[in-house]
Amino acid sequence: MGEALNGLKRTIMCGEIRESHLGQKHVVMGWVQRKRNLGGLVFLDLRDREGILQVVFGEGINKAAFEKADLVKSEYCVAVEGEVVKREAPNENIPTGMIELKGESIKILSESETPPIYIKENLDTDEMIRLKYRYLDLRRPDMQKIFKIRHKTAKIVRDFLDENGFLEMETPMLTKSTPEGARDYVVPSRNYPGMFYALPQSPQLFKQLLMVSGYDKYFQIVKCFRDEDLRANRQPEFTQIDMELSFVDMEDIISLNEKLIQKIFKEVKNVGVKLPIRRMPYSEAMNKYGSDKPDLRFGMEIVDISDIVKECDFKVFKDALENGGSVRAISVPNSADMGRKQIDKLTDFVKTFKAKGLAWIAYKEGEIKSPISKFLKEEEIGAIINKIDAKFGDLILIVADKNSVVLQSLGALRLDMAKKLELLKDNKEFNFVWITEFPLVSYNEEEERYQAEHHPFTAPMDEDIPFLETDPGRVRAKAYDIVLNGEELGGGSIRIHDTSLQEKMFQVLGFTKESAWERFGFLLDAFKFGPPPHGGLAYGFDRMVMFLAETENIKDVIAFPKNQNAYCPLTEAPNVIDQKQLMELNINFQEK
Amino acid sequence: MGEALNGLKRTIMCGEIRESHLGQKHVVMGWVQRKRNLGGLVFLDLRDREGILQVVFGEGINKAAFEKADLVKSEYCVAVEGEVVKREAPNENIPTGMIELKGESIKILSESETPPIYIKENLDTDEMIRLKYRYLDLRRPDMQKIFKIRHKTAKIVRDFLDENGFLEMETPMLTKSTPEGARDYVVPSRNYPGMFYALPQSPQLFKQLLMVSGYDKYFQIVKCFRDEDLRANRQPEFTQIDMELSFVDMEDIISLNEKLIQKIFKEVKNVGVKLPIRRMPYSEAMNKYGSDKPDLRFGMEIVDISDIVKECDFKVFKDALENGGSVRAISVPNSADMGRKQIDKLTDFVKTFKAKGLAWIAYKEGEIKSPISKFLKEEEIGAIINKIDAKFGDLILIVADKNSVVLQSLGALRLDMAKKLELLKDNKEFNFVWITEFPLVSYNEEEERYQAEHHPFTAPMDEDIPFLETDPGRVRAKAYDIVLNGEELGGGSIRIHDTSLQEKMFQVLGFTKESAWERFGFLLDAFKFGPPPHGGLAYGFDRMVMFLAETENIKDVIAFPKNQNAYCPLTEAPNVIDQKQLMELNINFQEK
């Protein structure tokens, strides 16, 4: 049973009342966080989106209100009218802690059963329960804080891009399925039996069309979809901040986006981002950090020691070098005393990245221990220590193999060691870096052909165009990723707008004229009619909010997320649909 | 072949140059609208998003640039550097008409084939061609103007709602299919064979959950989907401005939205909307205009003449009245001389609304003509003319039947006559009205049960709650539509937040506890935990933009719309998908 408002108006939010309101009469509405009956007084902690307010009812203030207030339980929704008075026992932990509301009347707007989860910060209830009762989980103040951040961030982005001449334009959700790429979610068509729309993985082709159409600067905060096996922090539907600009080069896009990033972090987190943001070519990122999204908040850089060991007697090193590979190392601080078992675990770890093994040198004051010391001259070990700038107590970890394996395994090992050593504990830094000069294409050994690293419309760097025909693997792209604390926040590229260059690119990728047309027909058609030079960038909005809200769980920043199996415990989607509708769609299901 | 920018920067948009820029050097980039070679001079009309600029190249200015400029054709994309000079023959029709750019160099950024449609305003090319070459159609200045309006309107809405304490929150696109309602678009699930997600028809249930979760004020500009047979101005995907508020009543929602509407029309169209906006109960709208979205820009109101004719000899009238129906009429100006054939067509027209016929009285100075004059006394005809306040020259059109037929057919006839008489030609008025006091439920004669007029969560008006059990058809809802010039711009309601009232409502609608649970389970669950009083409203954003852009075609306000068959001539969606993907989804297609 609930009472009606009957014209009663809220005059202020619970969390907004301060000492400046003392003596004023106010009406507040919200949820009962807690009720205490201390004999002649009932205290309610009343909660709304803006905070918590203490309300006190007394037999001496208003007996009827006191008695009614005593009926309420946790999570009842109530309206209270009363006077703001000074609190006898101030609570300095909350902004409303100096005052309380002397309750003169109360309406019970609705009752509540005992909630199955606590409405409090830092809940560690099972995720399945949190998702099933998401409407209660979303009541928690830390969740509400996240969605305020999400709203505010979107608002800042929109204001900034509007001020900079961008138009927000909507691209279709029901669009065309493109073979290759990630798996599309598809939507059967009733009008065209056997045919499907696809939900977009990104508005890429449409935003390029809008540039051909002369819209000059486009953006959109937009849902995108991928039907992939879900890993941690992936969701079937996710949100991008997507933009595309005409008549610009990479510098224009980077400098505009640096200003945007600066503004977001200033306004949401009061953190200054120093501009220009550091830039690092892809090759440097790979060589030093074994990753195209390096975490630069700590060192432990990868060092190439091939030169030093090239004459040594250790067959593993020699073989790697003779096969065109390399020998590289990282120096892990305060780990020279690591036990053999732990080192064996690290060896197992790098093997998951296809490394054949892990060599090590424990560098302690007055002692150097290493299973490979018998193969290396003292000068060689000294040179390694010297080159990697090891300190007493460091453990040098070495991998020898082909370059891709060496870099990937040492890059992963570097992150793993940083985690184990808690190097980033209590680190509040936001460390940005632009990664540039990505390879345009990579060779797919299985399919014996080159494939685009970004997509086939990414422009090569001008100075590398001559290599497109002679040595495609060497061509660098006008592509750029913005990386924050070792995570890709966004990325983009300048696109090819020249038909003959585009044709050359398709040749490199092994497309025939026909197959290129089949996939990208309407964009290629459009490019016949004076396409402008253009480029763009897209951010993962969910991930951005994760950084701003300081959570590592993507489900915390999406109001109604799916679980790991793309299932929604709240609505029980997906579910079965009417047989009639299946008939209309002409769909049968195969026997299992 | 296209030239690269090579660091060349645009300094200003074509459409932005004015006399204040005289003497300045500028770089502009855009598309060639037109080229003229007048002997020693080449003139280019260069177009970008902001307008058109005349650029002149001369042998005497720069010979190389002149020769290159002479190579370009329509829709080539070029960059020009030059000096802003006074134009010899000013063109007062365009904002840049007083100046021109003296072209000192030109880059041909990309070439263009001859476009298959003209890039000009008010194109009347076949729609199929326009949609196939949408990227060219979107280049037209009148289309670009529409998408600027669309962007600006969304921005105004977001700014306004942000200022008023709303949070924009995203609700899921992959959600649960609900039986009944319009037909859902569905998305097969790979993880759960035979099960489907549904694309949302609206975020209704989620926004109510967000109120239960204490977000207080939610909004979203969001895509919604309906797999219906497309009528004119319907699209499979459309955009809503959706909002929901807690602790409010209808007055709060209406007054907030009036301010929003006022702001939009002021800032986009410089049209003042006088507040408060007129309100009209549903019953008045139906009785006077035969519609719940009356066009109030003209009169021709429906008048009930039952009382006057109740004693007459005309059987059709008498039968209608005896069967509980009515006799009503409209008076059409300047139409008393309408020929019999035309009147026959009007009769056919009302028959499509199930009226059995159409009686008429032609009221001319000194003469009254009517096929029913033999059945009516002179006083009766006089009383009709009097009550309907007919003027000489009016044609009175009369329908007698059960009320719903009478009102629907006269309402449609009223609109039809206004169109034929061009009453609204050159009418620039924006005539708003709130329709209120809608019936809560209506009786479905086929299924012999009451059904919700809006949805089952719409609250009844307080004073009508007693009739819920005794006479449900009489209960009015706390629902409201905002109507503009005879079109529904948006609508909403206060929701039921009281469990026992909700149960009563389900009883009226013939739901068992189980069937209600099956459909709305998670919302009903949520309502057990202290739901706040709440209500909301949603606008059709596409329709709003149609009004603001003064177009009557919804395809003009959607960048990439589908055609009447839900097909996209540009991308050729829907299309077939890989057999492999069908297998993964476990889908077979039935033989036709």
- Please check the confidence at residue A571 and state whether its pLDDT lies above 90: yes
* pLDDT on residue A288: 98
Lowest mean pLDDT, pick from A370-379, A574-583, B493-502: A574-583
The shortest CB-CB distance from B176 to any of A13, A185, A572 is to A572
Q: Which residues contact B131 (CB under 8 A, 6 or more apart)?
A: B137, B555, B561, B563, B568, B569, B570
Is B122 part of the contact surface with chain A (CB cutoff 8 Å)? Answer: no
Is B71 part of the contact surface with chain A (CB cutoff 8 Å)? Answer: no
DSSP A48: E
ipTM over 0.90: yes
One-letter amino acid at B481 equals D
Burial class (CB in 10 A: 0-12, 13-18, 19+), B555: buried
From residue B511, give the alpha-carbon distance in Å to each of B449, B456, B504.
Answer: 10, 10, 10
A21: annotated binding-site residue?
Answer: no
Is B20 part of the contact surface with chain A (CB cutoff 8 Å)? Answer: no
Identify the band that residue A581 occupies on the pLDDT scale cut at 50, 70 and 90.
confident
Best CA proximity match to B491, nearest among B447, B545, B455:
B455
Extract the tokens encoding A223: 């849902």
- How crowded is residue B165: how many other Cβ atoms within 10 Å of its Cβ? 12
Q: How far apart are CA A45 and CA A43, in angstroms?
A: 7
DSSP B464: G
Is A129 part of the contact surface with chain B (CB cutoff 8 Å)? Answer: no
Residues B293 and B481: beta-carbon distance below 8 Å: yes
Extract the tokens encoding A322: 């003779």
Q: In this complex, how many residue pairs, one in chain A and one in chain B, have their CB atoms less than 8 Å apart?
A: 373
Extract the tokens encoding A102: 């002397």
The shortest CB-CB distance from B151 to any of A5, A167, A174 is to A167
Q: Which residues of B touch A497 (CB under 8 A)?
A: 2, 109-110
> Smallest CA–CA separation between A471 and chain B, in Å?
22
Beta strands, E only, A464-583: 479-484, 487-494, 534-540
B window 477-506, beta carbon within 8 A of A: 497-500
The shortest CB-CB distance from A533 to any of B109, B188, B213 is to B109
- Cα within 13 Å of Cα(A59), Cβ side: 5
The model's pTM is 0.96
Is B465 part of the contact surface with chain A (CB cutoff 8 Å)? Answer: no
Q: Which residues of B touch A198 (CB under 8 A)?
A: 573, 577
Identify the band that residue A590 occupies on the pLDDT scale cut at 50, 70 and 90.
low
Mean pLDDT of A302-326: 94
- Please check the confidence at residue A502 and state whether its pLDDT lies above 60: yes
* pLDDT on residue B592: 44
Q: Would you call B581 and A532 a contact, using CB atoms and an 8 Å cutoff? A: no
Identify the band that residue A569 occupies on the pLDDT scale cut at 50, 70 and 90.
very high
Three-state SS at B364: strand
* pLDDT on residue B325: 96
Is B118 part of the contact surface with chain A (CB cutoff 8 Å)? Answer: no
- How crowded is residue B533: how many other Cβ atoms within 10 Å of its Cβ? 27
The shortest CB-CB distance from A194 to any of B9, B236, B576 is to B576
* pLDDT on residue A472: 93
A543: annotated binding-site residue?
Answer: yes
In CATH, which of 3.30.450.20, 1.10.357.140, 3.40.190.10, 3.30.1360.30 is domain B298-420? Answer: 3.30.1360.30
Superfamily of domain A14-110: Nucleic acid-binding proteins (2.40.50.140)
Reported as a single tens digit per residue, the pLDDT across A523-536 is: 889 999 999 999 99
- With a pLDDT cut of 90, the percent of chain A lying above it is 82
- Cα within 13 Å of Cα(B491), Cβ side: 20
* pLDDT on residue A1: 62
Helices (H) and strands (E) in chain B, counts: 17, 23
Whether domain A142-274+537-583 has CATH 3.30.930.10: yes
Residues B570 and B560: beta-carbon distance below 8 Å: yes
- How crowded is residue B467: how many other Cβ atoms within 10 Å of its Cβ? 16
Domains of chain B, by residue range, sit at: 14-110, 298-420
Q: How far apart are CA A187 and CA A175, in angstroms?
A: 9
Burial class (CB in 10 A: 0-12, 13-18, 19+), A500: exposed
Tens place of pLDDT for every residue, chain B, 592 residues?
688 898 999 999 999 999 999 999 999 999 999 999 998 899 999 999 999 999 999 998 899 999 999 999 999 999 999 999 999 889 999 999 999 999 999 999 999 999 999 888 877 788 899 999 999 999 999 999 999 999 999 999 999 999 999 999 999 999 997 655 789 999 999 989 889 999 999 999 999 999 999 999 999 999 999 998 877 789 999 999 999 999 999 999 999 999 999 999 999 999 999 999 999 999 999 999 999 999 999 999 999 999 999 989 899 999 999 999 999 999 999 999 999 999 999 999 999 999 999 999 999 998 999 999 999 999 999 999 999 999 999 999 999 999 999 999 999 999 999 999 999 998 999 999 999 999 999 988 888 888 888 888 999 999 999 999 999 999 999 999 999 999 999 999 999 998 889 889 989 988 888 888 877 888 889 999 999 999 999 999 999 999 999 999 999 999 999 999 999 999 999 998 888 888 888 888 754 4
- Over chain A, what is the mean pLDDT? 94
- With a pLDDT cut of 70, the percent of chain A lying above it is 99
Extract the tokens encoding A407: 């870099």
Is A206 part of the contact surface with chain B (CB cutoff 8 Å)? Answer: yes
Chain A residue with CA closest to B212: the answer is A135
Q: How far apart are CA A173 and CA B561, in angstroms?
A: 11
Identify the band that residue A592 occupies on the pLDDT scale cut at 50, 70 and 90.
very low
- β-strands B479-484, B487-494: how paired? antiparallel
- How crowded is residue B43: how many other Cβ atoms within 10 Å of its Cβ? 18
A127: annotated binding-site residue?
Answer: no
Q: Which residues of B touch A576 (CB under 8 A)?
A: 194-196
